[in-house]
Amino acid sequence: MPRVGIALGSNLGPRLANLRAARELLRRLTRPGDELLQAPIYQTAPLACPDGSPDFFNTVVEIGYDGSPAELLQHTQAIELTLGRTRSTTHHAPRSIDIDLLYFGAATHASVGLVIPHPRLTQRRFVLQPLADIRPELILPGDCLTIAAHLAGLVSAEPAPALVQREW
């Protein structure tokens, strides 16, 4: 069963509770006894969001998943709806929960609405930092650098994330 990395973010409502609820709903997609890895939660400034957008709580979880990338995308979009996410015509509008598939084992995938590995994963500190906490030696399909190396070499104006909570 492939291990799947999933980014979680929330900048509306009870952010920590939103992340916990998403984690628990994702846990239900794994087989009983499968390990769920969870990174610490970080607070990050909104990136490319509308003026006045609240800060995000961001983290990454990794689960085992026995299905296709497209099926998992359907599940994660259903979880977003369950947790109150509404789609806005405003790009990067504040949201109660945002769930992004980062990687899917050694697989690559490209279709309308889903590219795996996530095409901007290695350019986003708010994703790289929590991912490096749980999988620093991970090398993505088609890449030659570890996640830790990507984080160490990241050139970005994005401010460093602030640790909110290690265990959640």
Task: Quick: pLDDT tens for 73-118.
Answer: 999 999 999 998 877 666 677 889 999 999 999 999 999 889 999 9
Domain of 138, CATH number, reads: 3.30.70.560
Residue 18: helix, strand or coil by DSSP?
Answer: helix
Q: Which candidate in 3, 28, 31, 98 is catalytic?
A: 98
The residue annotated as part of the active site, out of 15, 23, 100, 125, is 100
pLDDT at 23 over 70: yes
The domain in which residue 65 lies consists of 3-165
Phi/psi of residue 131, each to 5°?
-65, -40
Bridge partners, 115 (sequence order): 110
- How many separate domains does the chain show? 1
Give one DSSP letter per residue of 71-134, joined into a string. HHHHHHHHHHHHTT----SSTT---S-EEEEEEETTB-EEETTEEES-TTGGG-HHHHHHHHHH
C-alpha torsion sign, points 114, 96, 24, 34: positive
Q: How far apart are CA 6 and CA 88, in angstroms?
A: 22
Catalytic residue (choose from 95, 124, 125, 135):
95
Among this protein's residues, is 98 annotated catalytic? Answer: yes
Say what the pTM is: 0.94
Decide if 28 is catalytic.
no
For the question of residue 100 being annotated catalytic, the response is yes
The active-site residue out of 23, 85, 125, 135 is 85
